[in-house]
Amino acid sequence: MKKIFTLLAIVGLFSLQSCTVNDGPIVDNTTSEVFEVNASFTSTNDYSKLITFNYPIYSSDVVLVYRLSGTSQGNDVWKLLPETHYFSDGTLDFGYDQDYTTRDVNVFMIGNNLQTVSTDFRLNQVLRIVIVPAGYATSINKNSFEAVMSTLKLNESQIQKIQM
């Protein structure tokens, strides 16, 4: 009887062992992309621009949008959205914002009287949209376009220009 009990105990130990499965997130670093698009914000398009991706991105990816705000010492100055401009008294004049899904990004202006905003800020705006894989989303310096490009190991020749 002791032998049978010992045999059952040994069989039980082996049969009750479980396999370990790692169901953690899979980080796919191959989806880093940068798009450049010219956009004009007018009453005709409700002061917004919808940019559709060529294919869906992962829901864990982050989309960053930068606007070319000028140049400094011969270098482009890119500002991360949202970007807000105030009157001299500190009240909101206008701003740019964005939201995105796995299929597109919508860039839009906010403010009360957008038709009064100078055309320098509404027409022919150059935007850069960066798709950041989830693995980089928390460790990247999002405020600097150059730092994002460097971290993602992307260069100017890899920026895809979209004609709309």
Task: With beta carbons less than 8 A apart as the criterion, state whether 105 and 117 touch.
Answer: no
Beta bridge partners of 98: 107
Kindly tell me the burial class for residue 145, based on how many C-beta atoms sit within 10 Å of its own C-beta (0-12, 13-18, 19 or more).
buried
pLDDT for res 26: 43
pLDDT for res 71: 94
Q: Which pLDDT tens digit goes with each residue over 2-35?
A: 566 565 556 555 555 655 444 444 444 456 899 9
Helical residues (DSSP H) of the chain, grouped into ranges: 2-15, 119-122, 145-151
**Which SS3 state, helix, strand or coil, does residue 72 take?**
strand
Write the DSSP string, 95-129: EEEEEE-SSEEEEEEEES-GGGS-HHHHSSEEEEE
pLDDT for res 152: 93
DSSP 69: E
CB within 8 Å of 71: residues ≥ 6 apart: 77
Distance CA 127, CA 78 (A): 9
Least confident residue range of 11-15, 64-68, 87-91, 109-113 = 11-15
In terms of pLDDT, which residue wins out, 132 or 90? 132
When pLDDT is averaged across residues 64-83 and rounded to a whole number, the result is 96
Helix (H) or strand (E) holding 44: none
Least confident residue range of 46-50, 87-91, 142-146 = 87-91
Task: With beta carbons less than 8 A apart as the criterion, state whether 51 and 164 touch.
Answer: yes
Q: Which pLDDT tens digit goes with each residue over 99-148?
A: 999 999 999 999 989 999 999 999 999 999 999 998 888 888 999 999 99
When pLDDT is averaged across residues 34-45 and rounded to a whole number, the result is 96
pLDDT for res 67: 98
Token pair belonging to 25: 């997130």
